[in-house]
A = this chain, B = another copy of it.
Amino acid sequence: MTVLFDRIAFIGIGHIGSSLARVIKRDGLARRVVASARNQATLDKAMALGFVDAVTLDPIAAVKDADHVVLCTPVGAYAEVSRRIGPHLKPGAIVSDVGSVKLAVVEAIAPNLPPGVHFVPTHPVAGTEHSGPESGFDTLFEGRWVILTPPAGTDEAAIARVEALWRATGCMIERMDPAHHDKVLAITSHVPHLIAYTIVGTASDLEEHTKAEVIKFSASGFRDFTRIAASDPIMWRDIFLNNREAVLEMVGRLWEDLALLQRAIRMGDGPALERHFARGREIRRSVVVARQHIPPAPATSSGSANAKKTTTTTTKKNKKKS
């Protein structure tokens, strides 16, 4: 493997950051990996797990001499973090992030970066419901999409270096306009999470059924929603606060469509229900054809089958990985 960076600094080292750090360490993509977090316990875990060379509570110390800084905190912390580290970034350094919203992220970070520092906003469309450095794994991004939303005029060499880093994870790469990104993710990710959080709350609120009963019979569909609703609360709070417009627009569309189905049920309109439901199967088929249906799992356990399968979907440029 080629060394792509001399020193990479992670600000935040949770599920996503630690998964990327594991790939970097595994493939020797950086000479030195440094992590900063607000919590010493998180840093101790990261050190013990062996995918970082040094840790510090001070983000300024972490970014010193780093040629690549990856922001992996909840997106709500990006403005403050970038304000603090901005003046201490090495000239020519690349700053990227892994946030699930992009328009607000660009607005929060870009003004705090000095001239000569390259900003390459990044969103790996992958993850599980778990969080913390112990939950990451080096196959998390295999066969998944990573979206880059670099502002017009961003240095192409800097973009290419970020792409090379991500390619090592086995992912596929797409470039997108940040506003378009936020709309696509609002419907594919943010609204599904909002709905999962809603329904899980509604179910546990039901007074006439004990909570235990809802959980007991959760294998009938509810289970899948609880998995999604187990995602990190702070991370998701920040996503909704930072993608408000697109999320509210998509929720509005959802209300209208739900009202139609609700009415079909009330009126006993079987053909309308059947027509709508039949579309679900077709769409699922497309997801399976696109090989995005296999849930992520560490390669060490039952996920090995998964890793094997997804590897076959990676493009030529990733073949070295299999």
Q: Contacts A227-B293, A241-B265; is A276 near B220 (CB within 8 Å)?
A: no
* Binding stretch for chain B, among A1-9, A14-22, A33-41, A188-196: A188-196
Q: Contacts A274-B233, A305-B302; is A215 near B280 (CB within 8 Å)?
A: no
- A292 and B223 form a contact (CB under 8 A): yes
- Say whether A266 faces chain B, with CB atoms less than 8 Å apart: yes
Copies of this chain, how many? 2
- Say whether A125 faces chain B, with CB atoms less than 8 Å apart: yes
Q: Contacts A223-B287, A284-B226; is A184 near B276 (CB within 8 Å)?
A: no
- A222 and B257 form a contact (CB under 8 A): no
Contact of A202 among B185, B187, B201, B295 (CB under 8 A): B187
Chain B residues with CB under 8 Å of A199's CB are 191-192, 195, 254
Residues 264-279 of A at the B interface (beta carbon under 8 Å): 265-266, 268, 270, 273-274, 276-279
- A265 and B240 form a contact (CB under 8 A): yes
- A290 and B215 form a contact (CB under 8 A): yes
- Say whether A250 faces chain B, with CB atoms less than 8 Å apart: yes
Chain B residues with CB under 8 Å of A219's CB are 125-126, 144-145, 292, 296
- Say whether A69 faces chain B, with CB atoms less than 8 Å apart: no
- B230 and A284 form a contact (CB under 8 A): yes
- A286 and B211 form a contact (CB under 8 A): yes
- Say whether A315 faces chain B, with CB atoms less than 8 Å apart: no
Q: How far is the CA of A192 from the CA of B227 in the complex (A)?
A: 13
- Say whether A154 faces chain B, with CB atoms less than 8 Å apart: no
Give A contacts to B, CB under 8 Å.
76, 100, 125-127, 129, 144-145, 147, 174, 183-185, 187-206, 208-209, 211-231, 233-234, 236-238, 240-241, 244, 247-248, 250-251, 253-255, 257-258, 261-262, 265-266, 268, 270, 273-274, 276-281, 283-287, 290, 292-293, 295-296, 301-302, 305-306
